[in-house]
Structure formats: C-alpha cells, structure tokens
Amino acid sequence: MKASVIVIAYNEEKFISDCISPILNQTYSKFELIIVNDGSTDKTKDIIKKFKDDRIIYTEHSQNKGFASARNTGLKLAKGDYVFFTDADCIPQNDWIEEGLKFMKKNTNLVAASGISHISSAFEKNRSIRDTAAYRKDETQRLYHIPTTLNGVYKRKILNELGGFDELYNLGMEDGELGLRLIKSGNVGQCKKMVVFHQPKELTFKKALSFIQRRCTYVHIIKHHSKDFPKLRRSDVCYGFILAPLYFFSLFFPPLLLLSNRFQNKKIKSFKDLAFFIPFYFGLWYLRFMIWKTAFKERIFLI
C-alpha cells in the first residue's frame, strides 16, 4: 500500500463529514483512511460510523489525550509507505493524495512535504480564497518550510525512525516540533498542488484557552531546538528572549493588537466592536503569566 491518511478528531461533529467525504472521493483510491476519535463527547463518532467504506480504519481513545498522542495512535496503525495528515476541520482537494504521491516520487530526496492551505468554509470552496495567514506571515514557517499536519505528507519509515510525535506537545505544536526533527534528518519540500481548505472556527472561551496553551509550547520548542535553529529566536514567534513579541508589547500599548492576525480584518467603530478586544487584552496577561510559569519550570529565560 502506497498511502495512509490519518485524521484525528475531538468534538468535530460540525466538520468531520466535510473532511471524510472528499478523502473517500480522491482521484487516487488505493489508500487507507485512519480516523482517530480522541475522546469526543459530541456526535463525532456517530457521524463517522455513517460512512461505509472498507478503506476506513476507525479507532478511539476513551478520553481526550491530545494531538501528539492521537497522531501516534494513527501512525501505529498505518501501513502505507507515505502518510498524509490533515485535520478534521479541513477539506482536501480531490487530487490531494495523487499530487502528494507524484511530488514525493519525483523528489525522492525528501522525507516530507507540506501543501498549500486556504481558509474557506465548506460552502465557499469554489469561490475566491485567501492564503492562511500563518503560512504567509509566520517567519518560522518561511525560514524552515516546516511540514504541518494541517496538510502534509511524510515517509512513514522516517516518522517511525524519529519515534513519531513527541507527546510533550499534546496541547499543540507537535507537528512543528516534529518538522524541526525532520529537517535535521533530511530535506523537506512544498507541493503547491497539494491543496486543502481549512474551515474557520468561531473563537470561544475554550478555544482562547487552547490558544494560550499552544503558545506555551513554544517555550519547549525554543529550549530544545533553538541551538540547532537559531532563527527561531529571530522570527515572528520570538524576538531574542521575548516570546510572542507583538502580544508582549501590546500589554503596554494595546493599539498594537490591531496589527495581529486576529484583528486585521476587524473594524472597531463602536463600543460593541470592543466586546472581543477587551477580553482578548486581559487574556494576554494570562498568556504572559503562563509563558513565565512554563519558562521558570523549564529553567529557560524568556520574557
């Protein structure tokens, strides 16, 4: 078998169907689809079970274990020479697998490759689309072309040799950390014909906390990888010893927040428009507290 596709899902009842359908209708059909239900408490499992296809391999965790653990569970079941990852809230283009395989076979020196991701809803995927901001503006992505599990293909042999995903990063950035290890083990590339559409989600209080937790994992990234990748300290992610510099300086000059991806498309004209701005600002203080707490625990100097 040439290809394994791994999708992990945690409470994705709104999106999982839009992810599975286009995968099962790929132009390349000889693959297995491994779906890891990471302890969902909504109707995710019921929706997945409605799909009757012999290529689907379903497994579940009794409780939510996190991103890295769920991906490792899928990786242990994979039999394909190449492993494709996308997320449950993504919609792969119908030639996604075919283009990924062509690219990897043509570029045999690569250990992994990322694709192109666009922000779009399931009902807008045929309309004009815009590049995901993170792929255009995150300096770390530009400097090292790190493959991500949002849209990536990997040689399974290499993933196994590296020990899969580091479960220290169960809260997030597990793919970025793996990407850095992949770069040290070989060449990575980008397949521009491997396209997925990432469905935007409404920001809730729970998702805001998840954002803060993900940012804290950068402390581990910098501690373990900045020696081999010095540009990590000279990127949008970190400026010298200042982690998340835009958010740090926004604590003292809040209008700087308007430069962030979160607010670039928002026009604040009234007090009603500030309803999101104000709690976000106080969330930054909590973010900074958590960063300092993590840095102190890891014995690394970051402000």
Residue 27 lies in a domain: yes
> Token pair for residue 175?
């793919």
Query: Of 178, 198, 218, which closes a domain?
Result: 198
Q: Are residues 7 and 124 located together in one domain of the fold?
A: yes
CATH code of the domain covering residue 168: 3.90.550.10
Q: Specify the pLDDT at position 130.
A: 39
Residue 5 has pLDDT above 80, yes or no: yes
Output the pTM of the full model.
0.86
What range defines the domain where residue 58 resides?
3-198
* Count of domains observed in the chain: 2
Which sign does the torsion angle of CA 113, 118, 120, 126 carry? negative
- The residue-averaged pLDDT of 237-243 equals 84
Query: Of 157, 175, 198, which closes a domain?
Result: 198
Residue 303 lies in a domain: no
Query: Of 137, 170, 198, which closes a domain?
Result: 198
Q: Are residues 177 and 215 located together in one domain of the fold?
A: no
Q: Are residues 180 and 252 located together in one domain of the fold?
A: no
> Token pair for residue 192?
């521009």
Q: Are residues 217 and 191 located together in one domain of the fold?
A: no
Residue 32 lies in a domain: yes
In the predicted model, what is the mean pLDDT of the chain?
Answer: 86
Higher-confidence position of 144 and 295: 295
- The residue-averaged pLDDT of 17-44 equals 97
Q: Are residues 182 and 294 located together in one domain of the fold?
A: no
| pLDDT-based confidence at residue 272 (cuts at 50, 70, 90) | low
Angle 298-299-301 (CA atoms, 0-180°, nearest 5)? 110
Residue 22 lies in a domain: yes
Q: Are residues 11 and 152 located together in one domain of the fold?
A: yes
Residue 126 CB coordination number (10 Å): 8
| pLDDT-based confidence at residue 234 (cuts at 50, 70, 90) | confident
What pLDDT digit, counting tens, does each position of 182-208 carry? 999 889 999 999 999 998 877 777 777
Residue 240 lies in a domain: yes
- The residue-averaged pLDDT of 15-39 equals 97
**Widest pairwise Cα distance in the chain:** 58
